[in-house]
Chains A and B, each alone.
Chain A
């Protein structure tokens, strides 16, 4: 263990014990425990004392043992403990099932080279002008990362990018532009759909708990326009900062569609599932239910086999579940409300409040995992909205969108997101380049989010 980890371990345990030793007026005993769990989780997540998914499981474990009806502690009359199944069932929350469907679909796509072949086809119309090649790379990355994991999409696009880089002059700034365009587009594309990136899941689950059902298609209506604008902006920015010197770059992607029965099954299932998700508003079948379609069809046709199931990123699901669960106990024990009540939010105007949330989310998630940031912020945001401080039921939705979108636009540092880390590790991009364009994109995104809060979302809700 490194020194940082030791410090983290000490601080985490201190954070856990602190609320138990002190007594905050107006907060239930259970609220004190929930605060301890929150502080422990926050510190462990920040310092990565243990793997972040492991912290998530620790959260669920502590809640089950300390805060559930079946736990070891008996609680006073001020708190009626929830059954332990409430906490455990976060592991099979509808949003987790939606993600599971997404994972299966994405991994099967990789297995049958669907992702790479789609890239080949989609890149074709962009010609050989470096400017448009960058736009092509970004569009394809964004589209794929809206349905697949940002990281997997980035890894795949890097395999496409490297032969292109090899054909580009070593001093051509376009190399940096192209290498940056991919992680940025992957991060941006992730916001477009509920399954695009895990923070979306944490937020949507929290909204669900408030009785707000977020349809797949409607999320896209809220978020996709922002993604498209940001994608074009990022493209423009990268061209300005790193103008291509070459006038022509040959794209020479080779490959062919797999034509086995299983591969064709995958193509069909992929298309049908995505179609059903997008059109949820028309047919009303919940996206989590649709998500079972790829899981069931692909496994029963042996398109997706036991070995493939083992390879799924289960730890991401656990990470999300921990985030959902953490919010659950903060709401139930009244901790979230207590925190909200403790601060005089009324002094701040509505938009300033939203801006603070967006900015905090952006800054935090540049250093922490996006999912962790969302998990830590969403309970407060929801409480704030439900307590009526920021007014109206629509505000719950909006605060959720602000948190989810802001966390995803954090792409300043290599450690901000895994796609950034991959791009920097190729050695083409210097951290300095990433900081410059990543900061500009982040700040622009926050401004756009605030504008949308004021002028776009209110008209849809």
Chain B
């Protein structure tokens, strides 16, 4: 069975894309990692979501892309019902302050990772944001306890009675 949640990685340089995907390898047993090298490709994946019965929990997006840039893609996702809740991260070497501010204000950017990134930081951020996403949007968080922040998931269950005695 396909995992319910997709992590979408958008990056045009194949070596960098490969490296990012390798750094979040540990999540692949629980999440579907999808790659796109252009914003247009990412849109295609997003539009295919309803058919696949999957949702994008997290997007790691490069800023400079051929064609539409990363910030515009994130803004578009924020305006799209399917991907509004997706946690959005910009991984970039050179987005200026203006673009970043735009992403924060208009796309609800959750995090900014500067290139070159620290693999541990990338993994931590991924874990944190996916935990947020699961807490907010997934009914049964149990399958994710192993890979995500179990303490926060358990505390969420405690406070919201997600699972009850039976």
Q: Do chains A and B touch in the complex (CB under 8 A)?
A: yes
Q: Which residues of A contact B (CB under 8 A)?
A: 52, 107, 110-111, 115, 149-152, 155-156, 158-159, 162-163, 190, 197-198, 311-313, 315-316, 319, 369-372, 417-418, 421-422, 425-427
- The minimal Cβ–Cβ distance linking B123 to chain A, given in whole angstroms, is 15
- Contacts of A198 on B, CB cut-off 8 Å? 165-166
B interface, size bucket: 10 to 19
- When the two chains form the complex, which single residue of A159, A190, A315, A425 contacts B164, counting CB atoms closer than 8 Å? A315
- Contacts of A152 on B, CB cut-off 8 Å? 157-158, 161, 164
Contact check, A371 vs B145: say whether CB atoms are below 8 A apart. no
- Contacts of A52 on B, CB cut-off 8 Å? 166
Binds A, one of B17-25, B61-69, B113-121, B146-154: B146-154
Contact check, A150 vs B165: say whether CB atoms are below 8 A apart. yes
CB-CB nearest 4 A-B residue pairs = A427-B146, A158-B154, A369-B166, A155-B157
- Asked whether A311 and B142 contact (CB < 8 A) given A159-B151, A371-B166, the answer is no
A-B contact pairs, 21 of them (CB 8 A): A149-B164, A151-B157, A151-B165, A155-B155, A155-B157, A156-B154, A158-B150, A162-B154, A313-B161, A313-B165, A316-B165, A319-B166, A369-B166, A370-B166, A417-B166, A418-B165, A418-B166, A421-B163, A422-B154, A425-B145, A427-B146
- Contacts of A418 on B, CB cut-off 8 Å? 163-166
- Contacts of A163 on B, CB cut-off 8 Å? 151
- When chains A and B are docked, how far (Å) is the Cα of A151 from the Cα of B159? 11
- Contacts of A313 on B, CB cut-off 8 Å? 161, 164-165
- Contacts of B164 on A, CB cut-off 8 Å? 149, 151-152, 313, 315-316, 418
- When chains A and B are docked, how far (Å) is the Cα of A247 from the Cα of B154? 28
A contact face: mostly helix, strand, loop, or mixed? helix
- Contacts of B166 on A, CB cut-off 8 Å? 52, 198, 316, 319, 369-372, 417-418
Find the residue from A152, A311, A427 having the highest chain B CB count within 10 A: A152
- The minimal Cβ–Cβ distance linking B139 to chain A, given in whole angstroms, is 12
- Asked whether A311 and B154 contact (CB < 8 A) given A421-B142, A422-B142, A425-B145, the answer is no
